[in-house]
Structure formats: C-alpha cells, structure tokens
C-alpha cells in the first residue's frame, strides 16, 4: 500500500536528522575519455573494466546512442511506508532500446563497481524516462561512449541518515594519484537544496572560467523558463547537455524529468524553483576556454 503523494513542498518529510553539510563536495581531476563496449557485454562490467584500465576511481558518462537488449527499469513513485518521502515503482521491462539521452554515475557499492543511470528513450511509439537497473543492461550493438574519468574523488554508496536511503555519497580517493591541479568537483545535494542555485554556488570552488555540469537526481517539482511547471513533487531527472555556468556567471541548467504519473517535462530550470527531493549527484567541471557543449 503506497502513501498518497505530497500535495505541497512543506508536506514532504524525511525521517532522519538533517545533515549539517547541505552541499558536500570533493575536488578532483576529470579526464575526458571514451570507450566502446562490445555487443553482448554487460554494461556495468564493461564500465568497471574501462575505469580500472585507466586508473579512475569513479566516472560520469553520457550514454546517448547506446543500444541495449531487453532491460529492467523503475520510475518514481509514492512511499511504501510511513518513513520514506518517496519510493520506486514496480519494475518495468523494456524489450530493447537506443538511448536518446542518458547519464551514468559510476561508483562503488559493497566493494564492487555500481552505476546509477537515468535514461530517456523511445519505445512503443512513446518516450520514456526511467532509472535503469544496471545489472540488467546488456549492450546490443557496439557504441562509442563519451565521459569523464575521475581521479582523487569517488562516489560510494552509503546509508544516508537523513533520507534512510542508500545513496551515492562523495569521498576523497587517495588510491588514484592526482598529479595536477583539480579541474572539477563531485557533489551530492541534500534534500530541498535548489539544483540551479547549488550549481551556481559550487562553481565558485573551481578556478574562474566556464563550468560544465553533468548529473542526475530527483526534484520536488520544478519551474522552467520555456515550459509549464512540473507540479508533481516526486520525480527523477537528468541534466541535458550543455548545462553549467558561462564565463560571465550565467547559469543554465536544462533538464529532462519524469513525475510519478509518468508525465515527461523538459526545460531550463528557474533559479529557486527546483528543490532537490532526495539527492542530486553531480560533476562540475571547469572547461577553460571551451564552450559548455563538451
């Protein structure tokens, strides 16, 4: 039996004590890289082997164009108990798909590689957005994937006292030596922190210049510059490319979202109108003289 969905932001309650650090982050080096998993490979295993070959402690990748065999996924849904603020839907199965937009956060869980993936694809004449279950992902056709390997910091699944979920948290990683000045940071936002404003604030921890943002998470509703608002307060999202801050301080955060009714939303977030529901996992990367479109 699922609880009714919250009707107002003030009605959302997380069960544990409020974390004191609302924008935890760790500086690191992000290296642009690419690799091509082969047909028949498990995606999670392929990602882990690629990271180990290159000495990465974690990675953030864009999976556009990735062709997958049948896989399982879930969507946002109402809580199944009296403690959690939200939960996942029952498991759905896709026959196969080519991902049109997707973000993968590669990190660690119980001593093994693990990936948090939100993806957008077309199936059965309709578009879908969901949280893909990584152990079910088998590559259908070899596809070159682009992303950023991380050194000096990692995402690691840990119990989060505030939300009582097991979530990726950020930590230093001294097993991947950093020989250069950090050009990036990773972060996991606390509940109710505004996604747009948090990215603008965190960018100040990097040296001056354009900053690109990559990641995924969940929002408790959102307003967009060019589209109707997402009024549902339980959602999952992924950041579109390009997202981040320009050299003159203008922050642009375009996202794709799905709410608990399965309705899709898309647009550039309005500052102060995109509160995090559970967390948002992000890589912020200084781009120097590059545009945000890399």
Q: Which pLDDT tens digit goes with each residue over 92-138?
A: 999 999 999 999 999 999 999 999 999 999 999 999 999 999 999 99
4-38 pLDDT, tens digit each: 999 999 999 999 999 999 999 999 999 999 999 99
Q: What is the average per-residue pLDDT within 214-218?
A: 98
Tokens (6 digits) for 271: 């500052």
Q: Considering the domain 9-286 in this protein, what is its CATH number?
A: 3.30.1330.80
Position 293 scores a pLDDT of: 45
Closest CA to 37 of 27, 26, 45, 29: 45
CA dihedral 236, 94, 240, 200 (to 10 degrees): 30
Position 179 scores a pLDDT of: 78
Q: Residue ranges per domain, the chain?
A: 9-286
Sort 84 into a burial class: Cβ within 10 Å, 0-12 / 13-18 / 19+: middle
147-205 pLDDT, tens digit each: 999 999 999 999 999 999 999 999 999 887 777 899 999 999 999 999 999 999 999 99
232-290 pLDDT, tens digit each: 999 999 999 999 999 999 999 999 999 999 999 999 999 999 999 999 999 999 997 54
Position 13 scores a pLDDT of: 95
Position 289 scores a pLDDT of: 52
Position 205 scores a pLDDT of: 97
Partnered with residue 155 across adjacent β-strands are: 170
pLDDT grade for 49, boundaries at 50, 70 and 90: very high
- Confirm whether pTM is higher than 0.95: yes
**Averaged pLDDT of the chain:** 96
Position 126 scores a pLDDT of: 96
- Beta-carbon contacts of residue 14 (< 8 Å; ≥ 6 apart): 84, 85, 162, 163, 164, 191
């Amino acid at each position: 039996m699922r609880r009714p969905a919250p009707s107002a932001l003030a009605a959302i309650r997380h069960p544990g004590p409020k974390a004191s650090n609302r924008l935890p982050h760790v500086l690191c080096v992000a290296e642009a890289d690419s690799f091509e998993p082969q047909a028949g490979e498990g995606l999670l295993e392929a990602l882990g082997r690629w990271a180990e070959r290159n000495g990465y402690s974690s990675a953030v990748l864009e999976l556009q164009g990735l062709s997958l065999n049948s896989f399982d996924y879930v969507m946002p849904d109402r809580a199944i108990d009296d403690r959690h603020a939200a939960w996942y839907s029952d498991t759905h199965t896709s026959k196969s798909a080519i991902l049109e937009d997707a973000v993968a956060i590669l990190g660690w869980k119980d001593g093994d590689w693990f990936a948090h993936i939100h993806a957008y694809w077309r199936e059965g004449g309709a578009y879908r957005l969901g949280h893909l279950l990584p152990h079910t992902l088998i590559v259908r056709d070899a596809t070159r994937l682009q992303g950023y390997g991380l050194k000096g910091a990692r995402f690691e699944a840990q119990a989060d006292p505030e939300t009582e979920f097991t979530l990726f948290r950020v930590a230093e990683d001294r097993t991947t030596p950093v020989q250069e000045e950090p050009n990036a940071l990773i972060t996991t936002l606390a509940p109710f922190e505004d996604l747009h404003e948090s990215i603008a604030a965190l960018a100040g921890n990097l040296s001056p210049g354009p900053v690109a943002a990559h990641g995924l998470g969940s929002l408790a509703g959102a307003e967009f510059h060019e589209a109707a608002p997402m009024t549902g307060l339980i959602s999952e999202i992924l950041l579109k490319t390009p997202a981040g801050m320009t050299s003159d301080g203008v922050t642009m955060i375009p996202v794709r979202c799905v709410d608990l009714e399965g309705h899709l939303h898309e647009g550039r977030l309005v500052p102060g109108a995109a509160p995090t529901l559970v967390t948002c996992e992000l890589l912020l990367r200084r781009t120097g003289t590059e545009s945000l479109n890399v």
